[in-house]
Amino acid sequence: MKKSLIWLMAILLLLPCLTAMAETVPPPCELPENAARYATYAEAHAEMEWAEVLLHVNLRLDYPNYQGILYAQRPDSFAVFVNKHYKLPKSYKPEDLVTVAGKYSSKTVQLRAVCYEAFLCMAEDARAQGLDLYISSGYRVNKKSGGADSLWFAWPGHSEHQTGLAFDLRTRGPTKAHLGDYKYQNTREYSWLCENAHLYGFINSYPTDSSGLTGFGFEPWHWRYVGVTIATDMKNKGFATYHEYWATYLILRAWYAEEEVAPSRPHRPLVRRRVQPELLY
């Protein structure tokens, strides 16, 4: 009996350590085809740890912005990755765009149906807490604006907005010149989203101190749907950006190519439902 108690106490003491080991995040994928680029980048950035070299090269940050581009072969995937080096096909337009209800936006805004369904669930729960989620913009195709190094403008095909899975939020009231003027990071809504958005499948794409990886400045208003599975896994593992998560877990998927091709994956109609965990990648 005494030995059993000792063993039980030992297991209880070790449990936090075992849990921490289970949640250890692996380094980004090391791809054989990138071996030469890893070596070159490591030599040019001797101050970097190897894991950081892998991350930067996997994100193609060893190329100048908007060069060394790969095209998404499955742009309709909830897990599609878009940045200054990974691009949507020029012909791509989501087939399941729906219009956001007027109570959630002052103008015509469209989102992909699955993103909108998740937003509605989130907005309803936020409203129960006395919060107001109000959309400023959703799906759009950007015109080329700003230089390649701009932190605030994405070139055509390189914006998450073009996926139909991202939207910008603001507070109600008079329209301001720039989204930054709303100071959304100081609102109760932003604090609530940071704690709860993953439960509905959303992430903040461009958090603080991440422009070195994302290529864009801090955008507290910009939220992206990646599905409950990915969003929750990111939250649990402490990933600040989808860029890091994608380069660690999803880059092995053969979803990108050097040549642009027309998307061919058939559209699957949405079934109305509450947000539930799903396997989307």
Catalytic residues: 219
Cβ neighbours of residue 123 under 8 Å, at least 6 residues apart? Answer: 104, 133
195: left (phi over 0), alpha (psi -120 to 50) or beta: alpha
Asked if 197 and 181 count as a contact pair (C-beta separation under 8 A), the reply is no
Beta strands in the chain (DSSP E): 70-72, 86-87, 97-99, 110-112, 134-137, 166-170, 202-204, 222-225, 256-257
Neighbours of 209 (CB within 10 A): 8
CA 81 – CA 226 distance, rounded (Å): 10
Among 141, 138, 51, smallest CA distance to 87 is for 141
Asked if 250 and 227 count as a contact pair (C-beta separation under 8 A), the reply is no
Neighbours of 142 (CB within 10 A): 15
* 210: Cα within 13 Å, side-chain hemisphere: 17
Among 21, 26, 20, smallest CA distance to 251 is for 26
